[in-house]
Each structure stands twice: as C-alpha cells, then as structure tokens.
Structure 1
Amino acid sequence: MNTKITNTQNQAVSTSFTQEKIELIKKHFFPNNATNAEMEYCLNIANKYNLDPFLKQIFFVPRRAQVEVNGKKEWVDKIDPLVGRDGFLAIAHKTGKFGGIRSYSEIKQFPRLNNGKWEYIQDLVAVCEVHRTDSDKAFVVEVAYNEYVQKKASGEATSFWTTKPDTMLKKVAESQALRKAFNLSGLYSAEEMGVGMTESSDIIIDVEACQNNTHENKKKVDFSQNFSQSNATTFSEDEREVLLSLGLEVKNEDGYYWIVGNTYGLNEKIKQLGYRFHPEKKTWWKQIGNVA
C-alpha cells in the first residue's frame, strides 16, 4: 500500500514507502532531534531517486552548516540526505543506460598555487570513468587528495582519510563521475561531506552530535570489553548501563533480548554487545542463554 508524504509547502508527494516503513525509517535512520520538515525533505529525496535506506543506498546525516541569517553568517545543525556509492550505482542501473565503471588511482604531478606562483607537486589522484550505452565517450573525473581530504580542527586528516586514503578518494571520484554521467545534481556522497563508512557500508558519524540522550548519568564506555561473551544468560547491570549511555533500552520477550530506541549511527557499538539485526522486525536482538 502506497502512502503520501506532505512537504513543507503542503504539496503531496507520492512515495513507494508504506506508512509502516516510513515509521521504521524515522525510528532507525534519523537522529532523535530531526524535525518533521527535515524528515519530510529527506524522505522526498529518497523517493525521488527511489533509494532505500534499509539497503544503505541513502543516509540521513546530521552535520554543521554555515547559513546566512539577516545578512549574518551563522552555524546551524541540519540533517542532510547523503548518497552512498551503492545508491549512485542503483540510480545508474535503473536508467537502463549504465555501461560500466572503472576507477583507479596513481601518483601524479598536480598544479598548485603557492605564494602567487604556480608549481607542480606530487599528489594522490583518483580517476573514474563511467560509460553509458547511449554514448561513445566515457564520462571521466579526476580528484586529488589535497582537494578532498577531510581534516579535523587540529588540521590532521580524519581517521578514515588517514587509514584508507585510496579507498576514500576513489569513492569521491566514482560518486562525481556517476553524478556527471547521469545528471544527478544536488546529490552528494558521504565521503565528499567528511562522513566515513565501514567495509559493510555502515555509516560512521559523531554519535554525541546526533543522539538526543537525556540519561543524566552518562559514562564513557570501553567497547573493547567483550560484553557479547560474558553475559549471555543474564542481562547484567554493566550491559544495561552501556545501553543507557547510548540512549537505548532492552526488553525480554520469548527468550530473546530486543533493543528498544533510536539506533541511528550505533550499528557497530550494538554489534560489539553481541546483538544481531533482525531484517523482518527491523530491530536488534540477542538470544538469552546463547553467545552471539
């Protein structure tokens, strides 16, 4: 059954998401402080390009952005829809005109303006070629490391750009080439916006920035502890405190522990507690008495 999402201009937009799925998306893929307007906007973008957050094709990510208010620039928190590489590929495939993609990286001489003079420097460059079945020429994009590396306030590269610079740069090139080949203006990849992703396409964000956690006695949790191996038969106070620190609770039902709450951005931490994701119930679970 189809439903409709109403945007901020009160225009009805058809969507293939059922009302039940919309509620699940709001629960698991948006931070707690997301406004109705932000959720409607993000869901409309997902619907426009037929992208499914459950398939990790699109993410709804909190970030800081600079906007102009009454002639003054201010920093605000906003939720942006970011598309994963798989999302761009899904859009390309659905056109029926996707002819293939090739990406590689190399060290190249790259021009840079230094103190008013142009000079060549060595830099890591990723190249991506996207082919369409209705074009003889490939759509080619080159991106240089120094132009796209995401840095911390200290000036150091973020962990993902430090440990996987080649992978991150290729993803930027692939996203830009697919966007160029299929005229996907207005969509940006997670890598372009400084958001990291794991090998399994789970997004890595600053949890404290997106979790509206009101638990008064937050404590720092050492996730190197092997919780999944220690308390399988009983739900310990330590595990309860860990979940509370993440803004989550657990219920005991039919011989299983089920996670209750907004799990946005917490996949890796929940996995370390020994829970598995249930694809039908769309929540995390662990069997009582079994080691996960």
Structure 2
Amino acid sequence: MESKNIINRFAEKMNIDANNVFGILKATAFKQRDGNEPSNEQMMALLLVAHQYGLNPFTKEIFAFPDKQAGIIPVVGVDGWSRIINHHDQFDGMEFIQADNYLSYPDAKACPEWIQCIIYRKDRSHPIKVIEYLDEVYRLPFESKNNGGYKILSAWQSHTKRMLRHKAMIQCARLAFGFVGIYDNDEAENIIAGGQTTTIIDIGAIDMNKISDRTKQLTKKLVDRAISTQAWESAMNYCQEQFSGVERRYVELTLIKARENNVVKLAHPDGNSTVIESNTSNSHEEIKEGQ
C-alpha cells in the first residue's frame, strides 16, 4: 500500500480534503518543543502507526513527539488504549484490585499503594495480571525556581488514583496483547528528558540457564516468520500452545520486543514509507524442529 493511499483513507474516513491531512496533523497531533514544524516523513510515520493500531490522530487517540533522531515517539491517550483493548478479538473483560494501604504525597490525593489490573483473554485459561506501584510511577509537580518559584500541578495530583489505574491497565494490556512501539504521555516525557531508547519490554530478568537451545532456536524461527508475514497474533498463539512456564515467558517477551522494534522502525521512516498489512492467519503451524 502506497503512502498516498493511507492519506486518502484517513481523509475519506474524516471527511476532509486529502491535501489538508498533514496540515491538520501539524495542528492537532504533534507536540512541538523547539518551534520547528514536523517533517512530512514524521507525519507519515504517525499515520503508519495509527493505521497499524486503528487509532484516530484527529481526536487525539494517538499523537506524537518528534524525537532526537528525526523520527517520532508515538503517544496513545487513555481513550486510545481503551479502544485498542476493547477492539481486540480476544479481549474478554478486565478487573482492578487495589491495596488496602494508602499513600499520600504532598499536593496529591491519597492513593492505594498499588493497583492490579487483570485482563481476560478468550483463548487462554489463565488471566494476565499486572501490579503497578504508586512509588514507581508517581510524577511530582513541576517546580520552577525562577520568578520566585511556583508549582504546576498535573493529573497525578488531582486524580491520583485514576492515573495509577491507567498505568496498571496500560502495562497489563502490553503483556496481554503485545501492544508495542506506543507509549503513554509520562513515558514519552521520560524518553525526551533522558534520551533513553524507546523500549518498554525487557527480558533481562529471565534466567537464560532455564531456556533450552531448542526453545531458543524455535523462538528465532518464530520471530523471523512473524517479521516476514506480520502475523504477530498467530505467533503469540503458537507460543501459548507450544510452550509453558519460564520458556513461554521468554518466547512471549522475545516476540513482544521484536514487534516493538518492528513498529519503531516504522516510526523512523527513510522517506519510502509503506504499510505491510497484518496477517492474522495461523501461519506458524508448520514451524518444527529442524526447519
């Protein structure tokens, strides 16, 4: 699919002139820091990621910060996360559990020490559970040391419990559905401030001594096949059927990280942007040892 077809599709969906798409994106979907306008390549990258996840940049379900390498950092708002979770074919409900113990920070409302998100998938017998701790994600208000000093409060101070719940939902969704290459606003701010790489998934905690050579070999084949066909969902389903325990966790995280890297490449275009349509058919059934 050529780049102009993506632009035409968005224009038709939004009932606007295709020639005005980039102008509207500049005004609504890019957060500028230095006054420079985003390039056409950066705006095309945003449309590519929005297309992949079915998000609408014109209603701020997804927007972007330009990064330091002339690419973008795709940021998904809470409404956008809710959309991709609820529209996933295997989504079968969500629950939240919170700690009885509350913490209090200056200028903020009291909040549970942690909130757990539980997501159910139709194709799995066990739910995915993730706990997010307030002390690890809470953001202090911005404090200026100029003009006598002042504070700028954020939603972390006015809606502390809601923000922690959002954090738990987003992290759980990443593990449940393999959503990668997209970030929440806090993560994007941290990336810009610290110059860190755009990576959320880390397999460093896995004890590699417990991963067999067979599993490593099959995982590499699975990743290569998923990259070539864009059949990430069927790759994850194959993982769930063929592996268990720590080895399944290793394969899951390897697939998630590989898909994240694949999406990040889309977000750093070389001027020849294209879209590979996702193939969700079960194209991994034939992967065997020795192939």
TM-score by length of 1: 0.47
Q: Looking at secondary structure, tell me which structure has more helix per residue.
A: 2
Q: Looking at secondary structure, tell me which structure has more strand per residue.
A: 1
TM-score by length of 2: 0.47
The structure with the larger Rg is: 1
